[in-house]
Amino acid sequence: MISDLLKNCKLCPRNCGINRTEKIGFCGAGEKIRVALVSLHKWEEPCISGENGAGTIFFSHCNLKCVYCQNFKISSEGYGKEISVERLAEIFLEQQQRGATNIELVTPTHYTPQICAALDSAKNRGLNIPIVYNTNAYENLSTLDLLKNRVDIFLPDLKYFDDDAAKIFSNTPNYFSVATAAIQKMFELVGECKFDSAQNLTRGVIVRHLILPNFRRDSFKILDWLQQTFGDKIFISLMNQYTPIFRADKFKKISRRLTKFEYKSVVNHAIELGIKNCFIQTAGAVGENFIPNFNCEGV
């Protein structure tokens, strides 16, 4: 299955059709899995991190080209170490042995076939903690179908309502229509949120939204859509951690940090809509010191 899907790669909406066993596609990924960091991450939403931290695996490369990406070292520059499917399965089991709350797959789309094979192998050997799929939501529905009964929690971004902004800042056409269809599919696959006795999420969808400077009204429209579509059946995470790094200084509108007014106005809009299941961030969550140290530890 892996070889067939990679020889005519249409895993994401770019639909490159590239033979990744011979060359790379738009995302920059070839046939081999590349991972930049394996860690226990305690800075996710509380129900994702739990007591010991989420068992994150940061995959290299990405099918978006965000000019403000805080993980540009791995997403655009491709830093990381190539590993086999079998090694990835071992990493999943090692994370479980470390006491990870879950297995969190960060930017996994372009390696979905390999990840599915690794999950099947690891589960046959005792992997039994929840699997989290942390994605930018620029997904093909057929790829998400591969994750049925393999992924328990979806953690998608919903970055833009404005498709022009998506093109300018992420080189991504039709983002909102594609991402919203994908998020609806994710909900179809896992349903409403469920928690264990420690209030860790075991199943469900949390939609993250990073608020951009000068785009608070875009954020209002995203919240409107989420509330109208899902009500209280999902959780929303409103993020204030935007940091103008990488190439953001070349784009005037997003060349500064978010103001307190901008963030508060989006939070207030969520309250006005009656949104109850919502995580918000404190001011201390902003800055380059919150970017992981991508050093291939644990790979």
Q: What is the CATH number of the domain that holds 186?
A: 3.20.20.70
Residue 287 has pLDDT above 70, yes or no: no
**pLDDT tier for residue 285 given thresholds of 50, 70 and 90:** low
Residue 1 has pLDDT above 80, yes or no: no
Query: Does a structural domain hold residue 8?
Result: yes
Burial class (CB in 10 A: 0-12, 13-18, 19+), 9: buried
Its domain, for residue 25, covers: 2-290
Could you read off the pLDDT of 172-195 as tens digits, one per residue? 999 999 999 999 999 999 999 999
User: Smallest Cα–Cα separation from 104: which of 113, 95, 94?
Assistant: 95
E-only strand ranges, the chain:
33-41, 54-59, 81-83, 103-106, 131-135, 153-156, 194-195, 201-210, 235-239, 278-280
How far is residue 197 CA from its own chain's centroid? 25
Query: Does a structural domain hold residue 299?
Result: no
pTM for this predicted structure: 0.97
Region 81-96: mean pLDDT is: 98
**pLDDT tier for residue 282 given thresholds of 50, 70 and 90:** confident
Distance CA 47, CA 135 (A): 17
Could you read off the pLDDT of 223-249 as tens digits, one per residue? 999 999 999 999 999 999 999 999 999
**pLDDT tier for residue 283 given thresholds of 50, 70 and 90:** low
Residues 6+ apart with CB under 8 A from 17: 8, 9, 10
What does the pLDDT read at residue 3? Answer: 80
Query: Does a structural domain hold residue 262?
Result: yes
Q: Integer distance in angstroms from the first to the last C-alpha of the chain?
A: 24
What does the pLDDT read at residue 135? Answer: 98
DSSP state at residue 258: P
Region 57-86: mean pLDDT is: 97
Residues 6+ apart with CB under 8 A from 102: 48, 50, 54, 55, 129, 130, 131, 132, 152, 153, 200
Query: Does a structural domain hold residue 295?
Result: no
Tokens matching residue 87: 């090694």
Query: Does a structural domain hold residue 297?
Result: no
Q: How many domains does the chain have?
A: 1
How far is residue 195 CA from its own chain's centroid? 20
Region 98-118: mean pLDDT is: 98
User: Smallest Cα–Cα separation from 201: which of 215, 216, 191, 210?
Assistant: 191
Radius of gyration of the chain (CA): 18
